[in-house]
Chains A and B, each alone.
Chain A
């Protein structure tokens, strides 16, 4: 089930976050705890409304006002932490900078000299498979390529933990699978500890060592599943039997939560209409 605390790099303890809305108090995340060991690839999966993005912002240090604690190594997270690198769901490349300048951005913030930071950035651009595109502007690239730039940019900041919030959500299925494949290879090469937030089941099983299933609002940890598929993996693992069984197993839990989510939004829509 849960690994011993001693081998955890990221420790999420008892996170609870409440929001005040027009309808009253809303608990987005309720007492969520889990850990990520060094070199692990962990996915957090759940239906819309399970508080995944809230969790993402809390772990990344961009949200405050919550109960519980997030620790990276020995340090407690109180704001954006240098050990945590975030990749956002939306288009996040700077349109006025070239690919190389985008990737070099964290190094520029850290004060690295121009020649050196461009050199280092170039390595990461090549790593995500965009060699040759260093001088291009994001507007000239496809959505998938732009997300690769965003990932390269975050990797360039040399984070101990890579935190990604549905980075492939805006892409079509094929691009998503191939890109996921690429990210997994990079992760394995760099032995990068990764926490991926997603709603895509196939993706979660394809890429992860462990999958954390969350309930619908209020978001709690419903189940943690160890994915015992061989490494190194590639996109072809999707066709294997074991893969199918994991997907089916997790889908059982997910479906329950997703159904609750749908029923809830239908109820809200009915209430909203009646109020008019």
Chain B
């Protein structure tokens, strides 16, 4: 029966959502100006907004952004190499997979980032610590999704390879890996997001690095608007990162 109602456009709702949030901040501004909310605890939203360009200009934000990006890129490289290789090994050796897959799952649930003091001892207060934590935090996701992707290859494709008498190396490179690529990318993106979150977090905690360190520095200077501004900026960057990687993932799914 074609009596289903048409799904109305989401734009009016989105407009209402956006306007209501702006209204909320306007309300906050008013409450602070009238003294209801202490301006030494919550700075004026207008001040925070004004602080953003100031912070960007004075605090070398571009260079910091590049530093954090480098850390993420290194983590991404290690994640791709180690994650896919380990995932492939687990897939290749069934017994190993049966033995270790739940362990990797458990590791995914573990608070890996809490090991940062340990890494501080091993690597010192350096980019290596930050990259190492990012890598450790993202690795389980990449491994698990790689195994899942490879294991999910349709049997008929594997049979095609066998019927053509491909070696297991060729089988892996020409059939299994391409077929598993979308799922592997999902895992890679997931791992990358976990890595990014932990990288910025550890930068903040150990007061070293790029964007995370910026926030810590502003906080230690008691520059309230700048602290809030830096936090907003970092949140913006992370949202962008999440959105861009989501688009790439969707694009991948279409072309593969």
Interface residues of A (CB under 8 A from B): 19-23, 26, 28, 48-49, 54, 268
Contacts and interface: CB of A to CB of B under 8 A. Distances in A.
A191 B223 CA distance: 79
Contacts of B6: 20-22
Nearest to B6: A22
A48 B1 contact: yes
Contacts of B3: 19, 21, 26, 28, 54
Contacts, number: 19
B122 interface: no
Contacts of B2: 21-23, 26, 268
Nearest to B1: A49
Interface string B233-254: 0000000000000000000000
Interface in B98-126: none
Interface in B1-44: 1-6
A58 to B, nearest CB: 13
B1 A20 contact: no
B3 to A, nearest CB: 5
Nearest to A21: B2
A55 to B, nearest CB: 13
A54 B4 CA distance: 12
B32 to A, nearest CB: 45
Contacts of B1: 48-49
Interface of B: 1-6
A26 B2 CA distance: 9
Contacts of B5: 19-21
Given A21-B2, A21-B3, A21-B6, 12 more contacts: A19-B3, A19-B5, A20-B5, A20-B6, A21-B4, A22-B2, A22-B6, A23-B2, A26-B3, A28-B3, A49-B1, A268-B2
19 contacts: A19-B3, A19-B5, A20-B5, A20-B6, A21-B2, A21-B3, A21-B4, A21-B5, A21-B6, A22-B2, A22-B6, A23-B2, A26-B2, A26-B3, A28-B3, A48-B1, A49-B1, A54-B3, A268-B2
Nearest to A48: B1
Contacts of A22: 2, 6
Contacts of A28: 3
A26 B3 CA distance: 7
B139 to A, nearest CB: 38
A268 B2 CA distance: 10
Contacts of A26: 2-3
A28 B3 CA distance: 8
A115 B5 CA distance: 44
Contacts of A23: 2
Nearest to B3: A19
B227 to A, nearest CB: 47
A268 B1 CA distance: 11
Contacts of A19: 3, 5
Contacts of B4: 21
A275 B45 CA distance: 54
A20 B2 CA distance: 10
A19 B2 CA distance: 9
A28 B6 CA distance: 16
Nearest to B2: A21
Contacts of A20: 5-6
Contacts of A49: 1
Q: Which 3 A-B pairs have the closest CB atoms?
A: A19-B3, A21-B2, A49-B1
A49 B3 CA distance: 10
Contacts of A268: 2
Residue from B3, B4, B5 with most neighbouring chain A CB atoms (10 Å): B3
A52 B154 CA distance: 45
A54 B6 CA distance: 17
A80 to B, nearest CB: 20
A130 B117 CA distance: 64
Residue from A21, A26, A49, A54 with most neighbouring chain B CB atoms (10 Å): A21
Nearest to A19: B3
A20 to B, nearest CB: 7
B25 to A, nearest CB: 37
A48 B1 CA distance: 8
Nearest to A49: B1
A22 B1 CA distance: 12
A23 B2 CA distance: 9
A19 B3 CA distance: 6
Nearest to B4: A21
A23 B1 CA distance: 12
